[in-house]
Amino acid sequence: MAKNKGYKSYEITEGVERAAHRALLFALGIERQDLDKPIIAVVNSRNEMVPGCVAQEYIVDKVKKGIIEAGGLPFEINTIGVCDGLAQGHEGMKYSLPARDIIADSIEIALEAHRFDGAVFLATCDKMTPGMLMAALRVNIPSIFVPAGVMKAGDYLGQQITISNMREYVGKYLTGKIDWQTLQQIEELACPGVGTCSMIGTANTMAGICEVLGLALPLSSTMEANTPAKGREAHKAGKRIVQLVHDNIKPSDLLCYESFANTIRFTLAIGGSTNTVLHIPAIAYELGIKINLESFDRYVNTPYIAKISPSGPKTMGDFHKAGGVPAVLKSLQEIMDLNQTTVTGQTLKDIALQAEWNDRDMIREKDNPIRSDGGLKVLWGSLAPEGAIVKRSDCQEKMWIHEGPACVYDSMEDAIEAIKEHQVKSGSVIVIRYEGPVGGPGMREMQMITSLLMGSGLGESTALVTDGRLSGSSRGPCIGHVSPEAALGGAIALVENGDKISINLLAGTLELNVPPEVMEVRRRNWVPIVKEAKGILKRYTRMKPNPLNGAIWE
């Protein structure tokens, strides 16, 4: 029986003129009757360096088995993966954000060149999931996402620990609060297995967003890695993608503006990663939907209902047991649009109604929130006329309103050295600039400096402002994405040591208290710092990606 001409793979399997194409497919060991089956990509970033990617080894064969059982023909394709944890604190972090768009581009090339009919995306850490989402929406073939699974939390003296705690212990060691032997002991306990780190950083925020978009099965984003439940979910997703191909249900058939508004509400409700202000706009862009920093400001009244590490002691395992994403949808059903259909065939409302909401202290009811407004806060003002972002849920309330003298550094390394040498005084505002997309280049995360702030005790009195990014696992009074960045002549380039900076996380303001006439003199005398770049970073700098539109490559 000839294949449905609606399948893209028809272009490489059918017709006399495709004889050479079929010959190449036969070289892979497939049989002639397989040519009538829909060809499904299993999109993987599996490698041996990234703990989240190693977890994909367990699920990839389960996915393929499901595809085969449902009558599809699976082929695994691979893309790159970067672990932001391993890339922290050195030049390697400059490559993390550019990797997102390279991942999207590489998947687009593979899916389009080989005319796949559908795809299962094995989503995992940091930039891999948003890159895969961008590719799925760009290519727009039937797609389903299978998150790799969450790492178990570590245990130190009966206390749950995650990788974000680990970095704070470094600060405690540097300030003499723990000894070297203790630090080494904690190192070996913090990550007891593979999977995405068990806190609400970028990886798990983006995995949850896959569920909220309706592109992943319920509870899939919070399941523990390498478990029978995760294997069953992967098998089910493999079977489901074949049906989605038969029915020709594409991402564009499921997603609309309200879908992305839901992801913003979700992120604010759980105190998710600040990186979402880059990723959600970039993903929406692929469908021609405009989301920007002002969109996050628009939904700031979303209640904050789930305090997950690093905001509190509870980990992703606790969040899953409490009910996970479906319970969040159920709590917020009055303010979210849950009429969106998902890859299951159900609506988000159906999934919310079926949620097993087991812990209403871990995941609060909308009318009994931790706070009445969201975990992220957009800031505007003379220091950030185009906006900045802070994870307010991770900042002590006594630091929500703060004014202090600027301590200015032109790189993260300089700021780290200053803290190690005890040169930063309590009450200051540390300014780290020339770390933006162009100035960095690459817009590094400032995770190491934020962890040192908290571990050294300065996080209770000293703020951080940067045109770089903040890790999803950062906590404390840390403000990132200050725009325009220093390299493009933003106000942050003109700050001098001792200038007073005012921060108000209630009003959403970030002000540089320097008279306009003084700023004008400084601007006339300003000479930008240009950091050497090569390869992909050199090309990235030339493209001048803008955080306001998700730092996409246009």
Residues marked as catalytic: 471
Q: Which of 344-349's residues contact partners 24+ apart within 8 Å by CB, and which partners?
A: 344/214, 344/217, 344/218, 344/240, 348/212, 348/214, 348/262
Distance of alpha carbon 123 from alpha carbon 53, whole angstroms: 9
End-to-end CA distance of the chain: 43
CB 63 within 8 A of CB 237: yes
Distance of alpha carbon 407 from alpha carbon 461, whole angstroms: 14
Neighbours of 509 (CB within 10 A): 17
Task: Select from 310, 46, 285, 120 the least CA-distant residue to 204.
Answer: 310
CB 467 within 8 A of CB 490: yes
CB 216 within 8 A of CB 346: no
The CA angle 540-543-544, to the nearest 5 degrees, is 95
CB 137 within 8 A of CB 67: no
Radius of gyration of the chain (CA): 24
Question: How far is C-alpha 221 from the geometric centre of its chain's CA atoms?
Answer: 13
Task: Please name the amino acid found at residue 270.
Answer: I
Distance of alpha carbon 125 from alpha carbon 236, whole angstroms: 22
CA distances from residue 425 to 402, 438, 457, 466 in whole angstroms, order as listed: 14, 30, 11, 18
CB 171 within 8 A of CB 454: yes
The set of residues, in sequence order, having a beta carbon less than 8 Å from that of 514 and lying 6+ positions away, is 494, 495, 499, 500
Distance of alpha carbon 222 from alpha carbon 198, whole angstroms: 9
The set of residues, in sequence order, having a beta carbon less than 8 Å from that of 33 and lying 6+ positions away, is none
- Reading the block at residue 542, the tokens are 């030339």
Distance of alpha carbon 427 from alpha carbon 424, whole angstroms: 9
The set of residues, in sequence order, having a beta carbon less than 8 Å from that of 253 and lying 6+ positions away, is 341
- Reading the block at residue 432, the tokens are 């780290």
